Amino acid sequence: MRILAIMAFLCWTSSQAQDTENNNTLLLAEKFRLNGVSTQKAFGKAHEQALSTTVRLMRNDKLIAMGGIVDSRGYVLTKASDCVGAREAETSDGKKYRLKIKKREEKTDLALYQLLSEGRVFPVVQWSDENSTRTGSWVLSSYSMLKEIRAGVTSGAPREIGREGGVMGVMLGAEGDGVGGVRISDVVPQAAAYKAGIRKGDVITKVDGRRVKKRDQVVKFVGSNDPGDVVRIEVKRKSDLKTYNVTLGHRSVTFDLFNRNLQMSGPVSKRKDNFPMILQHDLPLPKNSMGGPLFNLRGECIGFNIARVDRVTIYALPSSHVRKTLSKFLGK
């Protein structure tokens, strides 16, 4: 009897918990939930400003990046490395325009395009100094379809993001005179070294003509180059000497293949290093939403989203750096 009573009590509490959960769900209508209609409207002017001054950049009818309108003549700033081959842009009212590339800058990874229209005067972002935005401040950006926004908070003081340098995608093992160089203990599948023909067990003897005997030498000589640079690697394979031209890859892209957390985060930006200054925030934006403006609660632009680092980390170039680059682009 005692066991039956306990079982009856557990069934009753479970039923009560389920009823409570159902009642809470009914009480909290969908429009009040995350990114619901009421949540979107709560941001008022900032919500409207974000949507009206952000554009979708497309290649072959596929979204590749976002951009922000920075001049009423239709000039748009965006992330340069994501926009190669962009042909068309769409504004929040559903209108589409052909694009013309005007300028690009490697340092900031920004590019300037122009929407080709017949005299339309476009709404533009209103600037604000990022120094007015403290850590933990609310920020927002347009979401990829330009129908709603995403909101989050800044996390961490503005800071410089250093250069990573290019990588081959190998693990280095034994070294020294006894080996005759530096042995490769493993090769990342489909990474730069693998594609060039280098294999596990090869012994690196020279990097760009410079003899190496230590792992640190290989790391230093290779790392002094940027992703995309070609490095000449001489290896000993059994009794043969072979030379391979290796086009270096990005460290994050190469080694993120083995980061389980990042595998679950979805695609991240190819370039997410070597920026003069960044603001960090946690907006839930996909990779193809980089390049768009970032706003404070007054609807003022405090930066441009420049890199998706992981599931909860976005880098934005602060408005002060963006405006300097824009002035150079426009010849002001």
In a domain, 5, yes or no: no
* pLDDT of 267: 84
Instruction: For tokens 């290779």, name the residue.
Output: 222
* pLDDT of 252: 65
What Å distances lie between residue 69 and 41, 49, 278, CA to CA? 22, 11, 20
For residue 194, the domain's CATH number is 2.30.42.10
328, with CB counted inside 10 A (0-12, 13-18, 19+), is middle
* pLDDT of 118: 87
* pLDDT of 323: 96
Tokens describing residue 267: 């695609």
Domain holding 231, by residue range, is 166-252
Considering the domain architecture, whether residues 172 and 139 belong to the same structural domain is answered as no
In a domain, 18, yes or no: no
Considering the domain architecture, whether residues 88 and 233 belong to the same structural domain is answered as no
Q: Please give, one letter per residue, the 3-state secondary structure of the chain.
A: CHHHHHHHHHHHHHHHHHHHHHHHHHHCCHHHCCCCHHHHHCCHHHHHHHHHCEEEEEECCEEEEEEEEEECCCEEEEEHHHCCCCCEEECCCCCEEEEEEEEEECCCCEEEEEEECCCCCCCCCCECCHHHCCCCCEEEEECCCCCCEEEEEECCCCEEECCCCEECCEEEEEEECCCCEEEEEEECCCCHHHHHCCCCCCEEEEECCEECCCHHHHHHHHHCCCCCCEEEEEEEECCEEEEEEEECEEHHHHHHHHCHHHHCCCCCCCCCCCEEEEEEECCCCCHHHCCCEEECCCCCEEEEEEEEEECCEEEEEEHHHHHHHHHHHHCC
Tokens describing residue 303: 């930066």
Domain stops at, among 218, 252, 286: 252
In a domain, 9, yes or no: no
The tens digit of pLDDT for each residue in 246-303 reads 999 877 666 665 555 555 678 888 888 889 999 999 999 999 999 999 999 999 999 9
Considering the domain architecture, whether residues 204 and 247 belong to the same structural domain is answered as yes
* pLDDT of 173: 94
Considering the domain architecture, whether residues 243 and 291 belong to the same structural domain is answered as no
In a domain, 132, yes or no: yes
Considering the domain architecture, whether residues 202 and 281 belong to the same structural domain is answered as no
In a domain, 76, yes or no: yes
In a domain, 2, yes or no: no
Pairing outcome for strands 88-90 and 138-142: unpaired
* pLDDT of 44: 80
pTM above 0.85, yes or no: no
For residue 68, the domain's CATH number is 2.40.10.120
Q: How many domains are contained in the chain?
A: 2
Considering the domain architecture, whether residues 172 and 136 belong to the same structural domain is answered as no
* pLDDT of 258: 54
Considering the domain architecture, whether residues 105 and 175 belong to the same structural domain is answered as no
End-to-end CA distance of the chain: 88
In a domain, 109, yes or no: yes
Parts of the chain with a pLDDT under 50: 3-4, 6-10, 12-13, 17, 19-21, 24-25
Phi/psi zone of residue 16: left (φ > 0), alpha (ψ -120 to 50 degrees), beta? alpha
* pLDDT of 263: 59
User: Rounded distance, CA 304 to CA 157, Å?
Assistant: 16
* pLDDT of 31: 62
In a domain, 8, yes or no: no
